[in-house]
Chains A and B, each alone.
Chain A
């Protein structure tokens, strides 16, 4: 095995699914190779949204990171108008860790932090890490003492990397912590929330127009809130649209405490599945949506790529990573269904991917699945490959000579708009090949 790279074909993976994932595809059986291709696993905030950035999602809020210095080091990279001057640190030393003395200092530190800002913050997040997880710190209680001191909402954020594979992983927990700041409000039947992403849905996404067509005048999201008052308005929604699983438990809390029912949609890149989702949504809301125009645009984009490829002697070979705005297995299954060759997928299969893996195995059994986390990836030959186009920053890392398509923009693609943009980007990238 030495000097080899672990991978498995889609056919092998699909055939062995009943026995569970191979050890190399599990994250608890091997060391985690720390390459640029796995950075978002080890440190989600390094290139996207980790707990720190997520904890600052409430407009006007500030964050006190309470931890050993090593946990806050990369926070220095948080810059720009959205984050400047919004973080402070209470660094723990060995004495604090042994005695828990730091807990008594937190209210005074929060007061000093609030007083030091040029404008009063809307809320204060208290971000704690693995050390306090092991110490069993009751941060809710500490937060209450802070509220008494500064008279502002104080929100505990748990950056417990140790609990990544628990029932309440950090990115789920931090969403709950944020949405739990909302107080019950009178409902506005013309308002809906989009829950899930920390950056806004692409403004040209048809979802906005479709909701408007049924009388929804206010489509709100956390990322779209510019003030704390706007954040509070999220509690007025008539219903929530849940676009990622990580916000499911928050939506359940909102249903229970704020009486806002939730409808779950998934980001998919298959026309048929988008059709079905909008039909289902219309059914739940007791209406129907005129989606023909958006579907036609998506079909047109897909057709344009198809024409380009038909004019070429050789088909492109794709590698699909997991650091992108998609589920890599769903995206690969959809691309393969349209006739594209996906040779490689970089990702850890989740239980919900089983359906897509079977589809991939049926249509493209030789597609190889790699996990960027495997130590054997150290042996991956990045210089020689037949891959034409690499999607996602991890696939791009492993195929530096392929055409790069990060597909990881801040504006979140969704529905027909996502498909249209994806195929336009693919056309653009492959046209210049």
Chain B
């Protein structure tokens, strides 16, 4: 029997996991960050579309997929339950753009950058290697992660797609 690949959509402040040959996608990432975790041996993958760097700074923090810190924890747990090994996990990052060319440089405006910084810091603390990233700049990204081979496809308006 041929196993057809299914594309699983991850919304804003949402996370999903899957196994090969399935594909995880999130559309129109702006200042949010798409965090991909992957066990290359078991071909188990997870994608979180986070909006904010730190759940401890926000009163309303029930939605774990919304924050870099809690989303990564949930992804790891779900993936380990599916048979992934934590030591084998690697990561890829995309998003964290600054969509508007603000002249001011206060924290409110640097949210994309802060989301990327927080994601990297947490992954480093957990000893998860970041294989590649396409972050920052000032444009939106649609991403697709292929559990079969670990490719992360990045699509933008007015530019060629690329695989990281």
State yes or no: do A and B come from one complex: no
